[in-house]
Structures are given as C-alpha cells and as structure tokens.
Amino acid sequence: MFNSKITSRLRRFASQAAVCAVAVSFMAGANAGLMGVKSVEISNSINEWLQVAEFQAFDMSNVNVALTATASAPDSWNASSTPDKAIDGNTDGVFSNGSVFHEGNPKTGDTLTITFLEAVDLSSIAIFGRTDCCSNRDIYNFNFIDASGSSLFQLTGVDATDVNNHFASYQFESNEIPEPAPLALLAAGLLAMALRRRRRAS
C-alpha cells in the first residue's frame, strides 16, 4: 500500500515535470535567433573587391530592418556605388544600374558596416552579389556587434557566387535556449511552484 502511494506520486511528479519541461522548451524556442544586434560588419572573405547588391536582415517578425538602417564604408568606387546602395531595397546586381555598393580601393580589407536604429533580434540574413561581372568575388564574412561594440557572432565564407541567383542566406539558431541542466532546473522550479499553490489551496 505504502509503495503503491509512492509509485503513484512519483508517476504524477514525472508527468508534471515533463509538462513543465516542454513548456519551458517551447518558451525558449519562441525566442530563437541572434539577440541584441546593433550593427553588422561585412567584409570580403577571399581578399577580393567588396561588392554588395543588397543586404537584408530580418527580425523576429520577418521585417527587413536593414531598410531603416544606415550604411558606411571607408570608400566607394564612384558616386553611384556608395554604401547606402547595399540597403536600398533593390537586389539588382548589375553595376551600371546604380544599385550595387563597390569599395573604392582594391583588396584592402574594407568593411561595409550596417547600423540599425536600435539593437534588434535577428532571425535571418540574406545577401545578394553582383550579377553582371566578377561574381566569383562574392564570398563574405559577417561580424554581428552589440550596442557595447562587442562581437556577438561571426560568419565566414558565406558564398553568394552561384551563377543562377547570386544570393546567400543564413537562418540563425537560438542563442537563448537553455542547456539540458538549466532546463531541468527551470522545470523543477515551475513544478515546485505548482505544488506550493496546491498545498495552499488545500
């Protein structure tokens, strides 16, 4: 009889703990993405000319927040290839059409910096390369910076050289989902709160 009661309570405890763990996992997963990004530094990964037709950065609501950002770089090829061309909403990769950013000095490791209006949580990014010429250059490095100037995350060798679409994208995994041990502790905490409320109610 005594063992039966213990077994019943243990089963009930395990069931409630599992429910709590699933709930915590769901809440953490809902925040999947790269959190608190204030700016993105884009450079060429293979010591070639840096050229970008369009950079897109999507927040957790799938809004392209790059459209309201500012873009800067040490130089540009001419007045029609300034940094703002990389976030003007136009993915046209033909240089002569005036919507491609192109650095001014060859192979100097220049960086195109995209700065958001405020720190944002990103779900994904996309970049479009040049389509009329020299698309073999379009392999990029990304450095994601927070509001304090610290690096949050880096991507290297992002390849947009595909001759069919000249495009590359990246979907962020969660950097907020707890590891198994913290997840178990959270589940246990939620369960303890539920048991305490039940005792008070009785």
Same domain, 50 and 85: yes
Residues 9 and 86 occupy one common structural domain: no
Q: Are residues 76 and 139 in the same domain?
A: yes
Question: Are 108 and 138 part of one and the same domain?
Answer: yes
How many domains, in total, are found in the chain? 2
Radius of gyration of the CA atoms of the chain, in A: 24
Domain containing residue 25: 2-31+178-201
69 and 158 share one domain: yes
How much is the pTM?
Answer: 0.73
Is residue 1 predicted with pLDDT exceeding 80?
A: no
39 and 20 in one domain? no
Q: What pLDDT is attached to residue 150?
A: 97
Q: CA separation (Å) from 134 to 39, 50, 126, 131?
A: 27, 11, 19, 8
88 & 43 share domain: yes
Q: Confidence class of residue 173 from pLDDT cuts 50, 70 and 90?
A: confident
Percent of the chain exceeding pLDDT 90 equals: 64
Q: Is the pLDDT of residue 59 over 70?
A: yes
Nearest to 144 by CA among 121, 177, 128, 117: 121
Would you say 20 and 28 are in contact if contact means Cβ atoms under 8 Å apart? Answer: no
Largest CA distance in the chain: 87
CATH of the domain at 165: 2.60.120
pLDDT of residue 21: 43
Cβ atoms of 147 and 119 within 8 Å: the answer is yes
CA 196 from chain center: how many Å? 39
pLDDT digits (tens, 9 = 90+) for 125-134: 999 999 999 9
Output the six-digit token pair for 171: 């979907």
User: Cα(74)–Cα(104) distance, rounded to whole angstroms?
Assistant: 8
Residue 18 identity: A
Strand pairing partners for 111? 43
